[in-house]
Amino acid sequence: MIERYTRSEMAHVWSEENKFDNWLRVELLVCEGWAREGVISPEDMEKIRAATYDIARARQIERETHHDVISFLRSVQEKLGPEGRFLHLGMTSSDMLDTALSIQLTQAGALLREQLDALTETVSRLAVEHRMTLMVGRTHGIHAEPTTFGFKLAMWVDQLRRCQARLDTAIDEIAVGAISGAVGTHATIPPRIEEYVCQRLGLRVEAVSTQIIQRDRHAQFVTTLALIGSSLEMMAQEIRHLQRTELSEAFEPFGANQQGSSAMPHKRNPEKAERVCGLARVLRGYAVTAMENVALWHERDISHSSTERIILPDACGLLHYMLWLFNEIMSGLEVNTARMAANLNMTRGLIYSSRILLALVDKGMDRQAAYKLVQRNAQKVWRDEDEGQGLLAMLKADPDVTAKITPEELDAIADPTAYLAWIDTAFERLKLL
């Protein structure tokens, strides 16, 4: 995990200590399962429960064995007496590894959900606050019609809620354990022990496992994180656009002592939003690797193992950081309502062309004829042939238009607040009001 983009609570989940804690937890529960079967005596079980691992010793052993599970087990067994022989009884490495990994992924998922909830709350608050803050809507990067900044954010709230649902599903899918032996047939360990261990860990039992839990579950988890990252990128990219000098409608927070450029003291770059966008690309790459891990040989091979040591901690860590960072951006977002109002009028009335078209149709004009009539005048504004007067002036001077619509009606049509008539519908549907 990259320390620069990892928060401490997520780092703990993927720490070697937490990993070994979960490994030992699984091993001890399996021993308890054997004790319930009468294989391990109560006296031996009491000694086994006091077992501990030694990270330094495990690393030392691994330099000889080149096998992390064997090295871990030996570091534990060395501190036990004869009862140590019951550790890992009937198990294969992946029984411990995959079940413990499911614990780590659910722990990581809980932290992700916490940050996602915090971001959703922040964006919801801003959406309501700015639900009537007029700004121009843009399609293809071109001014379209008036909208509100809050309406834009309401769409983000809806998307973030879908992210919450997807994450919940992904966590539920990965919350399974398997203690089923070398090829999953329970030939060396009865299903009752698997059921006991999973119940104690709060995991479901994988109905059918081979030597491993199948990697479609892990692929779903990582692709879900990547999809959430892509949603964050969409939002961060919008902030980047709104902060452009030509727009200057919204700015990510900029500290009093922050410096934007080593060469240009005036610069205030959207570097935080750009960071979110960049990290989303990494997450998508991890999703591809996770899907490549689904197709393994027969009952398993080990080709997925090396990649998962990288992609699982990093994917969780990066998304956790991205959610936190984007929440910081939105919590401190500077919204320039005056600039939004100025930009609304930048195209000198062109944004009202659709309502004018509909008004002409309502007056009985053929739609195509009305479209060409409005477009003819709009093109004069685009080409600056209107001498700065704007679309309404052109239309008022066009007898083909005034034969249908009075100048007073045109003025009434060009009212941006008319676009707010149903703006609360989205907020009501989202239960934000």
On the question of pLDDT at 261 being above 90, the answer is no
pLDDT at site 200: 98
Residue 20: closest CA among 61, 57, 63, 52 = 52
Report how far residue 180's alpha carbon sits from residue 206's, in angstroms, rounded to the nearest whole number: 9
On the question of pLDDT at 173 being above 90, the answer is yes
Q: How far is CA 45 from the centre of its chain?
A: 44
Within 10 Å of residue 390's Cβ, how many Cβ atoms?
A: 20
For range 364-375, the mean pLDDT: 95
Query: Which pLDDT tens digit goes with each residue over 53-71?
Result: 999 999 999 999 999 999 9
Report how far residue 282's alpha carbon sits from residue 321's, in angstroms, rounded to the nearest whole number: 13
pLDDT at site 306: 95
> pLDDT exceeding 70 applies to what percent of the chain?
100
Report how far residue 54's alpha carbon sits from residue 77's, in angstroms, rounded to the nearest whole number: 10
Task: Fold for 3-252+265-341, please state it.
Answer: Fumarase C; Chain A, domain 2 (1.20.200)
Here the contacts of 191-199 (C-beta below 8 Å, separation 24 or greater) are 192/33, 192/36, 192/37, 193/30, 193/33, 193/34, 193/36, 193/37, 193/90, 194/33, 196/29, 196/32, 196/33, 196/36, 197/26, 197/29, 197/30, 197/33, 197/99, 198/99
Query: Which pLDDT tens digit goes with each residue over 380-431?
Result: 999 998 888 999 999 999 999 999 999 999 999 999 999 999 999 999 999 9
pLDDT at site 263: 85
pLDDT at site 267: 86
Give the global pTM. 0.95
pLDDT at site 265: 85
For range 97-118, the mean pLDDT: 98
Domain borders along the chain are 3-252+265-341, 350-413
pLDDT at site 56: 96
Class of 350-413 in CATH: mainly alpha
Name the pLDDT band for 258 (thresholds 50, 70, 90).
confident
Mean pLDDT, all residues of the chain:
96
Name the pLDDT band for 130 (thresholds 50, 70, 90).
very high
| Burial bucket for residue 256 (CB in 10 Å: 0-12, 13-18, 19+) | exposed
Which active-site residues does the annotation give? 140, 261
On the question of pLDDT at 333 being above 90, the answer is yes
On the question of pLDDT at 2 being above 90, the answer is no
On the question of pLDDT at 204 being above 90, the answer is yes
Name the pLDDT band for 370 (thresholds 50, 70, 90).
very high
pLDDT at site 266: 86
* Residue 343, C-beta contacts closer than 8 angstroms, at least 6 positions apart: 135, 136, 143, 247, 249
Query: Which pLDDT tens digit goes with each residue over 33-53?
Result: 999 999 999 999 999 999 999
For range 5-22, the mean pLDDT: 97
